[in-house]
Structure formats: C-alpha cells, structure tokens
C-alpha cells in the first residue's frame, strides 16, 4: 500500500524563536497586529508500507532520528492511504 504523510515540526511551547519574533515585528510595521506567531516546517512524503500503523511508525522513527530534534521540537504526523 502507498501512504501519504504530512509531518509538521515546530519548537516546543515557550522556546524562543527569534525568526518568528522578527517576522511578527515586520508585520507590525505593515500595520498587522498579531497576538502570536509561530513558524513551523512541513515535510510531505509518500511511502510504501503494509499497513497504516507501520507507515506511521516509520514516519515517527524518521522524526525521532532526523527530521525533528526531540530536545527542542514537537511534531505532528497526519497520514492517509493514497493508493
């Protein structure tokens, strides 16, 4: 089976994100006030697996071993059968 996965990775709550703060300030210069602003990274991938559980376990392993840094990041995996 083929599965389509979308992995969203962001900093854990309360971690300093100077890039997001800078973007938020630049928005302010344009007159857009925001109460909060976060930046996240998204990985979109397709993979073969025998079941959705196996696919999810493999994507989770990818996050733990490379895509995310578990010291500073949270991540969210959305996965669906794609053919």
Partner 1 sequence: MKIAVLQFGGSNCDHDVHYVLTEVIGVDADLVWYKDELEGYDGVVVPGGFSYGDYLRAGAIAARAPIMNSLRRMADKGLPVVGICNGFQILVESGLLPGALMTNRYPKFRCEWVSLRVENNTSPFTNSFKPGEVIRIPIAHMEGNYFADEHTLSGLDSQKRVAFRYVDEKGNTTDEANPNGSVENIAGIINEQGNVLGMMPHPERASEQILGSEDGKKIFDSMVSYISSI
Give, in order, the Cα–Cα distances in Å from 38 to each of 9, 11, 30, 53. Answer: 11, 9, 18, 30
**Closer of 51 and 70 to partner 1 (Cβ):** 70
CB 8, min distance to partner 1, A:
15
Closest residue by Cα to residue 44 from 64, 19, 67, 69: 67
Q: How many residues bind partner 1 (CB under 8 A)?
A: 12
Instruction: Using the structure block, give the residue that is written with the tokens 């962001």.
Output: 10
Does 22 contact partner 1 by CB under 8 A?
yes
Does 14 contact partner 1 by CB under 8 A?
no
Q: Which of 27, 69, 76, 82 binds partner 1 (CB under 8 A)?
A: 69
Other C-beta atoms within 10 Å of 25: how many? 10
Does 62 contact partner 1 by CB under 8 A?
no
The residues that touch partner 1, with contacts defined as CB under 8 A, are: 15-19, 22, 65-67, 69, 71-72
């Amino acid at each position: 089976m083929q599965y389509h996965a979308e992995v969203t990775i962001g900093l854990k709550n309360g971690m300093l994100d100077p890039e997001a703060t800078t973007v938020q300030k630049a928005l302010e210069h344009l007159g857009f006030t925001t109460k909060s602003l976060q930046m996240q990274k998204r990985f979109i991938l397709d993979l073969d697996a025998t079941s959705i559980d196996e696919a999810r376990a493999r994507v989770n392993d990818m996050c733990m071993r490379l895509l995310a840094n578990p010291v500073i990041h949270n991540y969210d995996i959305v996965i669906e059968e794609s053919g």
